[in-house]
Structure 1
Amino acid sequence: MNNSIFKQTLTLIALLFGFALSAQDRGNVSGTIVLSDNTPAENISVALKNTNYSAVTNAKGHYEIKNVKVGEYTIRVVSVGIKTVEQNIAVAAGQTATANITLNESQEELNEVVINGGTNRYSKQEAVSSSRIPLKAIENAQVSNVVTQQLMKDQLITNQDDALKNVPGLYQMWGATGRAGDGGSYYVSRGFTTQALVRNGVAGTVIANNDAANIEYIEAIKGPSATLFGSILTSYGGLINRVTKKPYDRFGGEVNFQTGSYGFNRGTVDVNTPLNADKTALFRLNAATTKSESFQDTGMSKNFFFAPSFTYKFSDRLTATIEAEFFNQDATGLNLIYLGDSPSNIGIHNAADLNYDFKRSMNGSNFVTQTKSRNFFATFNYKMSDNWTSQSILTSANNEAAGPGTWLYLLANNQMSRNAWGFEGSSNAVEFQQNFTGDFKIGSMRNRMVIGGDIYHTKGYYLITYLPGFQWTFDTVDYTGSIANYNAFNQHTIQNMLDGSDSFYKGSSDYSTNSVYVNDVLNITPRLLVSAGVRFDNYENRGSYDAASNTRSGAFSQNAFSPKFGAVYQIVEDQVSLFANYQNSFKNVVNSYAGSTDPNVNGAVFKPEHANQFEAGVKANAFNNKLSGSVSYYNIEVENIVRTDPSNPISSIQDGTQLSKGIEAEITASPIEGLNIIAGYAYNDSKLTKADAGVNNLRPYTAGPQNLANFWVSYKLPENTIKGLGLGVGGNYGSESLIYNQNTLDSDGNVTGRDTFVLPSYTVLNASVFYDQPKYRVTFRVNNLTDELYFNGYTTINVQAPRTFVGGISYKF
């Protein structure tokens, strides 16, 4: 980003701060709705009687009705199954009238209301994380999709990967491998790979599939998001942020047991309690233990998750929360099948054409990887004034893994090689983040802003051990018939070979970022909002350390700016809005050609890559939150991609480009009492627009399917039939995906054709039935109802599970 753009960014922010309009003849109404036990009442409708003014309470029970004409009104609080409350109030010009209301119902009674009511249980209308300020989704110029805890309960979800199948346009390329450094699952968003590296808005890396026991909800924040989150934890397609459960001020909780196909057994506990009489000290514990086997002839997973959290309220102004996550897992890795040659040489171009029994793992025993995560978090919230708050966050994420890994190479003539290596490693990431958040008036305009900064440092190592002679191939077999030495490929044999090997490679990483950022949202009018933000990022890569020579190589330092702009116009205030945004992100490019004999490459430091997104669309939250959703079109252009120099194959130039554009849509609705719907669709057109001849103008194999769709429909029978009984059905569709997509070239480098390998399209359906009562819940679910054979992957063929059954029972207290 050049200086002129940076100056324009700062100028616009200054204009936002200084611009003012004369006061209008309107005011606001706000307040908090609580229950008889003093807990917040969420998703309660608040309206001004005989008008179109209305709002819905958030998770803290707070509501706000803006831009109300001066006059006297009657506030009406209503929800299914609770006693309606009315209260008179007067609205004055330029003032906010406050009305705090206590309902007669307790939390337990409200839970019963949720069970039988018609509220939109799959919708969450706040967007605090994506903007770092209190902002409704309809006010936010950026798109984010939320998977609520209620949706996860209805689907009997136990892990993050399954939960994210409810996000439009998010495709899981492969699951968690457990490897140190990159063991978490990989996804595609808007044509670019991403991982789930963010927890409550800061670093929270887990190198396995995150357990759902401690998840309150998950946000998928779309598009380049480096302005607020940096480049380390995000990708050009967006980021995934898991928001965890927090302690609250009463005793309560839940225990749950599940069992199902292929030896699946799982137990969880969620216990919350105040620790003193005045409820200033609060404690919550979430824990889970899970064991399962693979649908293939070998494969298993056994894990334990433990997440305590403690909140102490020092005063009305200062609150501190200390949290931890402990995760242990013993599991076999993914059964990955790579292409050992080009599809043309193999003679197969589609995974559906493989004459292979996918219930055979090709392993003679379980190859177990041991994974551990130890993560700690401290958050301090301080109310500086009525208009400003301070948030200080310190995190430490520690991961380690060790074990032999296996994979397969698909070859010609029905051959498959079986391969193994040993790996171990650890990583530690520490982050300190400070945010100052303001919500104040400039004249008659509401202005919300965050000024913040963070310091992030990560360090790690990995050790790869090869089979003797720097080999990894154990043998080659015919995968279509009987294999006499099938069981010879086992962990005991491979571990003995690795223990006797002197062929290994050790790598390390050591880098940090120091960043400052600002984001501002200004209500020019009650319906028109404009936003701007910018980030300055200093990246320090300390290179690789060689212990044998006590030397370090490849160190470099870079600076980058990342701006963002947005505008929202509410066609119908708080119900329908048009939005547009420009967002920027960047990536520091590590020189992978260190050691080259070319003086233009060896030791060179490339400029950061940059991605620029332009997006526009419409959002809705209508009919008292019964209908919400968004539709948008985006265009992302990436520049400064490092590619091979066409005039010198051993050198590199940084002039590559990529274009990714598409449409995303999501709807959540509760049109009638008891019926809840969530559905999404995404279309992505991605191609390398300036790249090596072999892939130029082609869709990258990392982009996933071009079309994705998801839906889930849940219906709870009316109370006068069988109270608490409900049904659910849903699924996912993905069009075909290319895991190999190359131009074929003649000796002069001219394109003569194309060689591809396809993972076929799929439609997977799931169904559930549940019986939900205030004190207990029973759920039964069928996954992959039609027993479809389907795959995911981006360089690999990863077969997915066939039809499975799982049942669960919960007791609430």
Structure 2
Amino acid sequence: MSNDDFAPGDPAGMTYTHRAFPRFFSPHRLTARIAAGLVIPALVQPAMAETARYDLAIPAGPLGSALTQLADATHTKLLFVSELVAGLRTTELTGKYTLEQALERLLADTRLQYFIDHAQKTITLKTADEEALLLDTMRVQSVAEPGFGDAPVEPGGLKADYQSAATKLALPLRDTPQAVTVVTRDALDARQVNDISTALELAAGASEGGGASAPGPFGGRGQFGAMYALRGQLLDYYGGILSDGVTLSSIAAFDFAAYERVEVMKGPSGFYGQGSLGGFINLVRKKPQQETQASVSLAAGSYDTYRFESDVTGALSKDKRARGRLTFAYEDAGSFIDGVSSDLLQVAPSVEYIIADNTRVLLQLLYQQEAFVPNQGLPLRVVGNRREPFDVPRSVFFGVPNKDSDIEVFDALFKLDHQLSDRWLASLILQGNTADRDIVFNNTVNVDGGYTYAFASKHISDYDLWSGELRLEVSFDAFGQEHKVLFGAENSHRKLDAIYSYVPIGVLESYQANFADVGSVPTGAIPDTPWVSSDTKQKALYTQSVFSLHEKTQLLINARYSHVDTRGSFQEAPSNPIDEGVFTYRAGLTHTLSDNASVYTAFAESFEPLDSVDRNGNALDPTTGEGYEVGLKSEWFDNKLAANLAVYRQDQENLPITDPEDPNFTMSGGLHRTDGIELEITGSPMPGLTLAFAADWSDNEFRDPEDQNTYGMARETTADRRFSVHANYEIQGGRLAGLGFGGTFVSVGDRQFISYGEDGPFQSYLDGYERVDMHLSYDGLPNWDMSLLVRNVLDETYIESSSGATWNGSFFGSPRAALLKATYRFD
């Protein structure tokens, strides 16, 4: 039968066929623009090519849901009578397929046949012995909404298949020319993770970077917000954490009750403007769902730790165009440190509304409040070239605890998606984030040079960020392949005002003295002394293209121009302003070797404006960097297990280093180089067994001879190796079905620091550590999930985090501690 035998969309002509309507286009204008380095998709007629192959990750389940996900991924409409698929299920479909190949696999065990109308961009189903019926387009029953650029719904488990933050486009991890770690919701729940530090333990190249904050559970809150490092590079304190691709502030330790997963992007983050050479961390919010789901959980554990969570989502209207979600968390936690405790409240509502078939709005709000006794950590002493804690119990609080500290954060995001056509998507994103952090010590202690100093201090930070972004995403077919182009414009305004002051109390006889003997200073008696103020405005334009050079080869290119205007002051004295424009680039090539393996190579740039000032009060030059990376990504056991390898080099200029003339200040340094290897294995190689393995090896040093205090030495807080593995097995049948048991092993090499002695600076080391956690779970009861975490089973004593200072800012890891959690999911 020829295509001319019937008109497209004529029911009389809808017979089963494997031949799609061919579409033709002239490539001459497109070729000219590719040669010029830009693609103007408006000059290319969108087409659905028979040979176009799509990356699919469709889990086993109801056939209707699987077909809907296929239609979404291939930009087609799905038309059929719902009764045709009632009760039918299909197996998992993962990999690269043409539309026809995917349909044949999904419909292989049914009596259904399909008809593809490429002119109308529809798929119509019918049985083998009756005419097809055309009804309204079926809507997606999941997170992904047709045409709005969402990644396909993933089947769950520890292994992820897609990311969107690294490229601002939903791309398969296999096609992303960059090392990306995704810690899924299932991975977080398996280990009862509620904080970033613990989540990063299963991400190669990631670490807790000090910052005077206690890591992990049972440790309380620190003097400052936690800092994180990727590939040895500290993330921007006010921009290294993102939520759905939009900047948050590290002032607050965001609780994970409101988040679905964590995406760790490793490598230069210049595509987002200012940012670390190491990358960034993206927290993905839980989104409203069409189908009603509700759960509550209770947890209780060591050191008087209690926690309640709830999560409710569902349709808000009969037609399910309006959906809502509300997550809630409350935690009352003690600590293994004497007198340290914290209270946390988080409320996170979100509403999504499909205004029309081509328009969607999303509003997300988050409020988090914490009141706590802060812990500024313990001092370390330098013995030879080793740093070690003083001979004190892990429970010692250096000072007198007081609960006058709190953090309050509010975050709002509004997103409007409008599908201009089936291949054109425009998005507007508006965001506001405010965070206030008040830290008060009425009596705290520093130990330095053999003396123990008691003092009171106040540190208040007010942070405000407002941003807007407009994106235009275009996909088109050319030369039998699908290509994507992204254009964007951003405008952001960030303000920071910080107060820091201290009042000396006295000198104690030793670090083992009774700290209360010297008294305390009331909070009101500690002055509010301005410390640092900064006002940064940034405007940017960017573009990104993903070209399918061949069905097995993709080229990603992006460029960004950012203009940064920073004004500020240090101790009320104006700093030198920064007013400059910066271009950053990224290019990556991915090539598929086989159905289960691909290789990639990438180059990217970064720049990072600094809030630091030199001893003269002048702002330091922005840190700039270049990153080079090659890698191998593979999938095994029928795509259920991912194994990824990355090899990288990172060169950085203008890192802040200690001023040799005044160690209380910093200055811009010369070349710093890091070389490293990362390996990750994640997934489920057999029914019931889940596995996550992460390891990295690196070497870094300052290479500029003019940097007297750092030349030839490694950057502070870095370790040459890190290794972690999590494994769990759940019994699949019999009386014990649903019982799971497993563990987590974490090993960190010696941490490197720069110390100062009579002969000048030298490299010093803090012992590494090993920790073993145990996990038990049971989901054999209808609607119930129960889990038990025993952290540090062997009760090892070790320093888990250190800021680099010796007088305070180091933190013991928790002694052996347990947390029991029970979750009930409503039908």
TM-score, normalised to structure 2, is 0.80
Displacement of 1:93 after TM fit?
A: 12
What SS does the aligned partner of 1:499 have?
A: helix
Tell whether 2:249 aligns with 1:236.
no
Q: 1:645 to 1:402 in 2, by over 3 A?
A: closer
Code of the aligned partner of 1:777? D
- 8 Å CA contact 1:206–1:399 kept in 2: the answer is no
Q: Tell me the residue number matched to 1:681.
A: 695
- 5 Å matches for 1:583-594? 583-589=604-610, 592-593=613-614
Q: Tell me the residue number matched to 1:697.
A: 712
Q: Tell me the residue number matched to 2:131.
A: none
Displacement of 1:146 after TM fit?
A: 0.6
Tell whether 2:812 aligns with 1:809.
no
Tell whether 2:786 aligns with 1:778.
yes
Code of the aligned partner of 2:627? Q
Code of the aligned partner of 1:731? F
Quick one: which of 623, 634, 641 aligns to 2:648? Answer: 634
- 8 Å CA contact 2:563–2:579 kept in 1: the answer is yes
CA distance in 1, matches of 2:249, 2:395: 32
CA distance in 2, matches of 1:809, 1:776: 7
What SS does the aligned partner of 1:438 have?
A: strand
Q: Tell me the residue number matched to 2:258.
A: 214
CA deviation profile, 1:427-479 (whole Å, cap 9, x unmatched) = 11001011111121123232112111211101131222221xxx4x6433423
CA distance in 2, matches of 1:77, 1:582: 42
Q: Tell me the residue number matched to 2:742.
A: 728
Q: Tell me the residue number matched to 2:76.
A: none
- 8 Å CA contact 2:363–2:415 kept in 1: the answer is yes
- 8 Å CA contact 1:67–1:526 kept in 2: the answer is no
Code of the aligned partner of 1:226? G
CA distance in 2, matches of 1:809, 1:145: 28
Q: Tell me the residue number matched to 1:81.
A: none
Q: 1:646 to 1:595 in 2, by over 3 A?
A: closer
Q: 1:442 to 1:334 in 2, by over 3 A?
A: farther
CA distance in 1, matches of 2:663, 2:34: 42
- 8 Å CA contact 1:94–1:444 kept in 2: the answer is no
Code of the aligned partner of 2:438? A
What SS does the aligned partner of 1:366 have?
A: coil
- 8 Å CA contact 1:534–1:564 kept in 2: the answer is yes
Q: 1:137 to 1:793 in 2, by over 3 A?
A: same
- 5 Å matches for 1:284-295? 284-295=325-336
Displacement of 1:669 after TM fit?
A: 2.7
Code of the aligned partner of 1:150? D
CA distance in 2, matches of 1:716, 1:72: 32
Deviation larger for 255-264 or 766-775: 766-775
Q: Tell me the residue number matched to 1:198.
A: 242
Q: Tell me the residue number matched to 1:536.
A: 561
CA distance in 2, matches of 1:180, 1:768: 25
CA distance in 2, matches of 1:665, 1:781: 26
Q: 1:90 to 1:706 in 2, by over 3 A?
A: farther
Code of the aligned partner of 1:764? R
What SS does the aligned partner of 2:550 have?
A: coil
Tell whether 2:733 aligns with 1:719.
yes
CA deviation profile, 1:373-405 (whole Å, cap 9, x unmatched) = 011111111111111111111111011122313
Q: Tell me the residue number matched to 2:515.
A: 486
CA distance in 2, matches of 1:474, 1:41: 73
Q: Tell me the residue number matched to 2:5.
A: none
CA distance in 1, matches of 2:341, 2:664: 44
Q: Tell me the residue number matched to 1:750.
A: none
- 8 Å CA contact 1:635–1:659 kept in 2: the answer is yes
- 8 Å CA contact 2:499–2:528 kept in 1: the answer is no
Q: 1:794 to 1:40 in 2, by over 3 A?
A: farther
Q: Provide the identity percentage.
A: 19
What SS does the aligned partner of 2:671 have?
A: strand
Q: Tell me the residue number matched to 2:419.
A: 383
CA distance in 1, matches of 2:539, 2:594: 41
CA distance in 2, matches of 1:531, 1:584: 14
CA deviation profile, 1:297-348 (whole Å, cap 9, x unmatched) = 2211111111011111101111111111111101122332345xx83xxx46
- 5 Å matches for 1:516-595? 516-544=541-569, 554-573=576-595, 575-589=596-610, 592-593=613-614, 595=616
CA distance in 2, matches of 1:16, 1:580: 26
- 5 Å matches for 1:206-355? 207-227=251-271, 229-231=272-274, 234-338=275-379, 343=382, 347=383, 349-352=385-388, 354-355=390-391
Displacement of 1:366 after TM fit?
A: 3.0
Q: 1:119 to 1:427 in 2, by over 3 A?
A: closer
CA distance in 2, matches of 1:425, 1:250: 41
What SS does the aligned partner of 1:700 have?
A: coil
CA distance in 1, matches of 2:652, 2:440: 37
- 8 Å CA contact 2:500–2:531 kept in 1: the answer is yes
Q: Tell me the residue number matched to 1:409.
A: 446
Listed as ranges, the gaps of 5+ residues in structure 1 are: 1-8, 47-60, 79-83, 108-117, 597-602, 747-753
Deviation larger for 326-335 or 296-305: 326-335
Tell whether 2:496 aligns with 1:453.
no
Q: 1:629 to 1:297 in 2, by over 3 A?
A: same
Q: How many residues align?
A: 733
Q: 1:557 to 1:785 in 2, by over 3 A?
A: same
CA distance in 1, matches of 2:784, 2:311: 14
Quick one: which of 346, 353, 361 aligns to 2:397? Answer: 361
Deviation larger for 736-745 or 182-191: 736-745
Q: 1:409 to 1:622 in 2, by over 3 A?
A: same
Q: 1:167 to 1:570 in 2, by over 3 A?
A: same
CA distance in 1, matches of 2:742, 2:201: 15
Q: Tell me the residue number matched to 2:625.
A: 611
CA distance in 2, matches of 1:529, 1:145: 20
- 8 Å CA contact 2:745–2:770 kept in 1: the answer is yes
- 8 Å CA contact 1:35–1:41 kept in 2: the answer is no
Displacement of 1:276 after TM fit?
A: 1.4
Displacement of 1:536 after TM fit?
A: 0.1
Displacement of 1:153 after TM fit?
A: 1.1
Tell whether 2:813 aligns with 1:800.
yes
Q: 1:607 to 1:351 in 2, by over 3 A?
A: closer
What SS does the aligned partner of 1:563 have?
A: strand
Q: Tell me the residue number matched to 1:54.
A: none
CA distance in 1, matches of 2:299, 2:189: 12
CA distance in 1, matches of 2:168, 2:765: 41
CA deviation profile, 1:748-795 (whole Å, cap 9, x unmatched) = xxxxxx644432111111111111145111111101111111112131
What SS does the aligned partner of 1:157 have?
A: coil
CA distance in 1, matches of 2:655, 2:759: 22
CA distance in 2, matches of 1:650, 1:427: 24
CA deviation profile, 1:283-306 (whole Å, cap 9, x unmatched) = 110010001111022211111111
What do you get for the CA RMSD once the two structures are aligned? 4.0
Displacement of 1:368 after TM fit?
A: 3.6
- 8 Å CA contact 1:267–1:290 kept in 2: the answer is yes
Q: 1:94 to 1:447 in 2, by over 3 A?
A: farther
Q: Tell me the residue number matched to 2:459.
A: 423
